[in-house]
Structure formats: C-alpha cells, structure tokens
Amino acid sequence: MLEFSKDLIYIVPAALIAIIFHEMAHGLVSHWQGDPTPKQEGRLSLNPARHLDPVGTLCLIFFGFGWAKPVHVNPQYYRNPRLGMVFVALAGPLMNFIVALITFVFLVLGTMYNFAFWIQSLLWFIIVINIGLGVFNLLPIPPLDGSKLIGALIPDKYYYTYLRYEKYGMILLVVLLATGVFDLFLADTVEGFMNIFRDIANWLVGLFLH
C-alpha cells in the first residue's frame, strides 16, 4: 500500500493524460466526419472533468485498465455510418498507442541523457497506463471500444439482437475485473505491446542520433 501511495504522484497525471487524449480522439474523428455532437457536448476539451467516469477512472488507477465517460456521437452525419463508427471506435485506443510510443522515445532519450528520476518515472507510468487503456478498450465488451467495432461490423440481421444484450456488458465487465479473469491475458498483452514500442522507440532514436 505504501508503494502504491508513493506512486500515485505519477499514476494520477498519467491516467488523466491517457483518458483525455483517448476521449478527445473519439470526439475529433467523429467531428471530422461532420458530427457536431462531440463539440456541442464539450468533448473536444482538455478539461479532465469533461471525460472522467468515476468507476472507470478508479479502475484505471488501481488496476491499470479502465474506461472514461463515453463520447456521444451521431453516425447519421457520416458519409458511411458503419465505416465511420469503426474509425471512431479505433481512434481512442490508437491515440493511446501513439501517446505511449512518443513517450517511449522520450524515455529512451531520458535514459541516455540521465533525466531526473521523477521524470523517467512519470514517463514510464504514462507508457504503461496508455498501453493498458488502449489494450483494455479493444476488448469486445460494452461499453468498451471493441464492442463498437463488433456492432459496426456484424450483419444487420444480428445488430439489434446484439444491442439487446449490450446493456449487460458493464455488469460482465465489473465481474471479470473483480475476479481477476483478465489479469493474465491483459498483463501479457500489455507486456507484448511494451516490447514492440520499446524496439520501435530505440530504432527511432538511433535513426535520428546516428
């Protein structure tokens, strides 16, 4: 508990960064497709209060996996509603992976040039939480982004059946988190992404410094 309390100084800002950029990405991609809803509801803002879901934020801080307040979008404004929803759903996790990769580049530089310990620690938590949030949200369970992908890709004849069961997703999600069913899978997946991003970051730094 003492170690966790000590790390909160890094975990909280890292979680806020992950959530803000994740949700802004959803809103921006919908906005770029002609949907005024995210802007009208203030979801293109850097203000964390616009995006935080209390339970999802606590899960992100305590477990490393969580979610934010869903961005309301209206696919009727899109040129291709189904494909547009795929882009919107992918935008959040993709943004988390981009933030993690960019941060990894700074961490590699920080290791090379001996950045202060607290800076390297903060960078590390930004990487871990962004990758955790991105991976977790790709799971095909409502209200996570993976469920939006499933909903956008399944045939029309199954779509409304899928929607009827969508409301039970949050209950299932909380049960799976509480029982630790996801722990091993998510930990291994996050570690895999960490290794990939570390290799890419080392390559990018080496490319520009040599």
Catalytic residues: 23
Identity (one letter) of the amino acid at 21? Answer: F
Q: How far is CA 85 from CA 47, 76, 135, in A?
A: 24, 10, 18
**To the nearest 10°, the Cα dihedral for 177, 181, 185, 191?**
50
Distance of alpha carbon 182 from alpha carbon 184, whole angstroms: 6
The torsion angle over the Cα atoms of residues 163, 167, 173 and 175, rounded to 10 degrees, is: -130
Quote the CA–CA distance of 36 and 200 in Å, as a whole number: 36
- Strand ranges (DSSP E) for the chain? none
Q: Is 70 helix (H, G, I), strand (E, B) or coil?
A: coil
